[in-house]
Amino acid sequence: MLLSKKIGVYLNQAHFLFKQCFLSELVANNVDLTPEQYLLIDLLWDEGPLTQQEIAIQMQKDKNSITKLIDGLQRKGYVVRKIDSDDRRKNMVHVTAMGQGKKQEITRIAIDAADKILSGIPEEELICATEVLSKLNKKMKKLLQK
């Protein structure tokens, strides 16, 4: 198999399997979130309130997918939409008090899940993999901007 094909296959498999492993850890710890919902609420924990458009850009997903993720998080009580005081046409997505209260617990579960997945791989190899993935991301973003 060509190297470029192998890389594409392995990236796709790793993405799928990482999400599945992470989901199983969330379920095992009674956290009612999907991996995508976790990424969205983690973004809000880090950045504070954002518009749906800002979330879509940062998560690199289309607005319809983001709407569904926000709807799910809102039903579960993690987030709420509020009208932007500066522009009434925009909704800002805020983390609720309940969502904020679960930040430490859920973040610990996420870190433990990642640590479990990455255990046994030497740190220098993980650093190298991170550098290569970063270069790939930058290259692909440039290609999409053309």
Rounded to 5 degrees, what angle do the CA atoms 111, 70, 27 make?
Answer: 40
State which residues form the domain around 10.
Answer: 3-121
Q: Tell me if 27 is assigned to some domain.
A: yes
Q: Tell me if 106 is assigned to some domain.
A: yes
> Alpha-carbon distance 119 to 107, whole Å?
18
Q: Tell me if 59 is assigned to some domain.
A: yes
| Residue 1 in this model has a pLDDT that exceeds 70 | no
What's this model's pTM, rounded to 2 decimal places?
Answer: 0.87
Q: Tell me if 131 is assigned to some domain.
A: no
Q: Tell me if 50 is assigned to some domain.
A: yes
Residue 94: CA count within 13 A, CB half-sphere: 11
| Helical residues (DSSP H) of 29-118, grouped into ranges | 35-47, 52-59, 63-75, 97-101, 103-118
Tokens 């939409």 sit at which residue?
81
CATH of the domain at 9: 1.10.10.10
Assign 92 a pLDDT band (cuts: 50, 70, 90).
very high
Q: Tell me if 146 is assigned to some domain.
A: no
Span 9-44, pLDDT tens digits: 999 999 999 999 999 999 999 999 999 999 999 999
| Residue 146 in this model has a pLDDT that exceeds 80 | no
Q: Tell me if 139 is assigned to some domain.
A: no
Count of domains forming the chain: 1
